[in-house]
Amino acid sequence: MEEKSQLQCKTYAADISSIKEAQNRIKPFVHRTPVLSSGQIDSISGRRLYFKCESFQKGGAFKFRGACNAIFSLEDSEAAKGVVTHSSGNHAAAVSLAAKLRGIPAHIVIPKNAPACKVENVRRYGGNVIWSEVTVQSREEVSAKVVEETGGVLIHPFNDGRIISGQGTISLELLEEFPHIDTIIVPISGGGLISGVTLAAKAVNPNIRILAAEPKGANDSAQSKAAGKIIKLPETKTIADGLRAFLGDLTWPVVRDLVDDVIVVDDKAIVEAMRMLYEILKIVVEPSGAIGLAAVLSKYFQENPAWKDCNHIGIIVSGGNIDLGVLWESFKN
C-alpha cells in the first residue's frame, strides 16, 4: 500500500494514463516482444524467470518504444524540421527509425567510442550522424548546436516524459501475459527504462518489487540511492556500453521513491550471463541486456533474505545490438 500512496500523492514525469496513451500511440509500429523461459536456467537460479526479450524489438532494443512515442506525439508543425538526439547507440537507432517512419529528418550526435554495429544501425535507418567527443558534456553541447542550426526538436535519450511513457509499455505487456510475476529486474543507466517499467508495474500491482541491475564500473545509481541524491561518477568503465549514463532530474525521483534496490555486478558476471543466454536460451544479447540475469545469479541477490520470496521474476532483456568481435574477445577473458 505504501507504493500505491506514493504513486497517488507524488507527481512523476509519467503515469499509468500517459503509459496507456503511449501504448495506443505506438501499437501500429512496435513489436509485442516475446517472453522466453528455460527450465535449465530456472534450476540454476532457483526461481522462475521470464525473459522479456526487447532484443527482438525493432531497432534491436527497447529504445524504439520511447522514441516512437516521443516522435509520433509531436504536432506536425513541431516535427517538420526533424528531430535531434545524442546517444551511444540504441536510442540513436531508435530515433532514426521512428523519424524515418514519420518521414522527417533525424540528426544523431554520437560519441566517437560508440560500438560500430550501433552506428551502422543509425545509418541504415537514415539518420544523419554527427560525431562528438566521448563525454556527456560534449554530446550535449554538440546537440544544442545542431538544434540551433536545424530547428529540430530534441529527443532526450531518457530524461523525457514521453520517452519514459513509451518504455513503460513493456510492463503492460509483461504483466498482461504473466500477472503472477512478483519481481521485475531492470537494467539501469539514465533511468528512462526503469522509470517507465516501475510506474506502470506498480500501478498494475502496488506490491510488485522492482530491482535495478547495474555494472560495478558504472554504479552511480547504487551510490545515488545510498546518498539520497544524484551522484555522477568522474568516469565509467564497463563492458555494458548502454549503461554508462547518469540519472536525470525526471528519472531520479522514480528511482529514489519506488525502485526497491540496486544490484551491482561486475563485468565478468555480465559476460557469463551473456554466454548462458546464448548457449541455453539461444539468443544473442548485448551486455546491458544480460545484466538482469547476472543480477539474479549474484551472491547479493541469492543470499539476501529480503528477496527470498521473489519467486516469479520478470527480466528485461533490453537489447541485442552487439559488436560480435567484442563478444568473442570478452568470452576469452
Decide if 50 contacts 315 (C-beta within 8 A): yes
Residue 294 and residue 306: Cα distance in Å, rounded? 18
Q: Cell numbers for 19, please give them.
A: 503509459
Q: Cell numbers for 299, please give them.
A: 551472491
Residue 229 DSSP symbol: S
List, in sequence order, every beta strand (DSSP E) within the chain: 35-36, 48-53, 83-86, 106-111, 128-132, 153-154, 183-187, 209-215, 261-265, 312-317
Nearest 5 degrees, angle CA 138-CA 143-CA 147? 155
Active site residues: 63, 88
Which one, of 243, 223, 217, 233, lies nearest residue 87 by Cα?
A: 243
* Alpha helix ranges (H) inside 210-323: 220-227, 252-258, 267-276, 287-297, 299-302
Exposed/middle/buried for residue 54 (C-beta within 10 Å: 0-12, 13-18, 19+): buried
Residue 304 and residue 192: Cα distance in Å, rounded? 27
3-state secondary structure of 135: coil
Residue 173 and residue 22: Cα distance in Å, rounded? 12
3-state secondary structure of 156: coil
3-state secondary structure of 112: coil
Q: Cell numbers for 15, please give them.
A: 503515469
